[in-house]
Structure 1
């Protein structure tokens, strides 16, 4: 069984979707590259670090994108973001069954700061427009670079987020927090702390992702199919009621866990009998534990 974490963007696309079905828009042969990187004598990629196109997922036509963590950590620049925006807009025009985003990104490129930030806002608008058109958007997070910054926000705008326990999801990366607030606030070199705080298990328990799976391509595929079906049944568009419910969840989280200095404290507050054992649990056993205690998405 192949590890999702270890695959490149195109390997994930080839493995996750029906065999031979991926059709790429603006492939590397089109040589659409960032104009900013070249001006700075920085290396460029002929796909600008993201592959976008259409494919079949269990026979259903979906639009998909996969960020390449091996190029600038999957960071978003002007062209990179424009490809994601164009994909989402085309999905609306062609009435796609769903959009699946294989997210792996450290955030916005510092080389293209303003252009990258604008690109992220355009992707967010296009994603919400897709949902308004009745097209579910599912974010899969399982790459070694995590999903941070602007892409972290984009992922949370999706109908559902699927993560592996190795994945990470946050607004600010560990190094950013440490730089801004000091190592006493967050030690980015403490890998156990980083994964406890931003990893898939904590995000699931806090309700930030809707499914946690093992680091296997087939597990992500099955979870994506299930998330699309659930989103269609539950309603795709982001409503005012859903936003108010999300705000209420955040208010409750602050009231309940605001004084916790470590995720372990939050897990204890949730009533988990042995929180120290969670980091070493397999995904299936962890999901069973969460279900037994009615934690995470089920609560």
Structure 2
């Protein structure tokens, strides 16, 4: 019995060691970039903590919930932005957003191979609502400038908070989005929808429903993201390395119209559906109820088929 327990314990430890979801933002960076290549910009203590939180008697964080810096991934020079979901749900405030914007604008000057963005945020920090909303618009504008300069923005969504609200919008401005099944991507969070429309519209406590509707599998099958991977550091690292090499699509009127037409078709076909199972069935996927139990590799095979 003890041997069995020890084996289970070792397996659980190994899973946590390989998990992107379980790691802090700093550990995610350390696990994916080339060893000893990360150089942090605006290190803890080099800038003051959020004055807005202090005025509300709320304890701030030494990095305001986001880490920025330079690194290499498989010898390619990149800029890294990693949100810390464990501090205020990765929510964007004035200083948090300013660090992201500054890093993006710095990329325009120094032209790294790519910007890699680990998004883990519920959206704008309500304690700094006005400043946060303004900052989201500044992040969006900076991301478009980076794309226009031909620099890829490779975003990974696989953290504890997903990508919601303004950060959901920002994520979709990336050139390449990688998601795990554990990741979630949407505009309004489940709790927000339930508060505004009632539990009959969306039960935020139904975790299986939440992940079916906003999770990586359905976003991948609907072509809202480019890559679906397991919650595995090695798989994510490889996907990021491949995304860095991709060229940036030109954002012209024809490109935007094509994207809009695709979204309009999905809206016309599936508006009113409250669960992804019905959508998967309409996509002629055999046994759609089994999708939730399949691996990322199996889901990729379904889409390719």
Aligned residue in 2 for 1:70? 86
CA distance in 2, matches of 1:160, 1:256: 26
CA distance in 2, matches of 1:40, 1:29: 21
Tell me, yes or no, if structure 1 residue 47 matches structure 2 residue 63: yes
Gaps of 5+ in 2: 1-16
Gaps of 5+ in 1: 293-299
SS in 2 for 1:28: coil
Deviations 1:32-63 (CA, angstroms, capped at 9, x unpaired): 31110000000100110000011001101101
Contact 1:135 1:236 in 2 (8 A): no
SS in 1 for 2:45: helix
Tell me, yes or no, if structure 1 residue 210 matches structure 2 residue 243: no
CA distance in 1, matches of 2:244, 2:252: 18
Give the CA RMSD over aligned residues: 1.0
Aligned residue in 1 for 2:138? 122
Tell me, yes or no, if structure 1 residue 200 matches structure 2 residue 216: yes
Deviations 1:150-185 (CA, angstroms, capped at 9, x unpaired): 110000011011000111011110000001111111
SS in 2 for 1:63: strand
Offset at 1:260? 2.3
Aligned residue in 1 for 2:283? 270
Offset at 1:31? 3.7
Aligned residue in 1 for 2:14? none
Alignment of 1:158-173 (within 5 A): 158-173=174-189
Match of 1:112 among 117, 121, 128: 128
TM-score scaled by length of structure 1: 0.95
Between Structure 1 and Structure 2, how many residues are aligned? 289
TM-score scaled by length of structure 2: 0.93
Offset at 1:239? 2.2
CA distance in 2, matches of 1:149, 1:182: 19
Name the CA shift for 1:112/1:104 in 2 (closer, same or farther; >3 Å): same
Offset at 1:291? 1.0
Tell me, yes or no, if structure 1 residue 281 matches structure 2 residue 294: yes
CA distance in 1, matches of 2:38, 2:251: 28
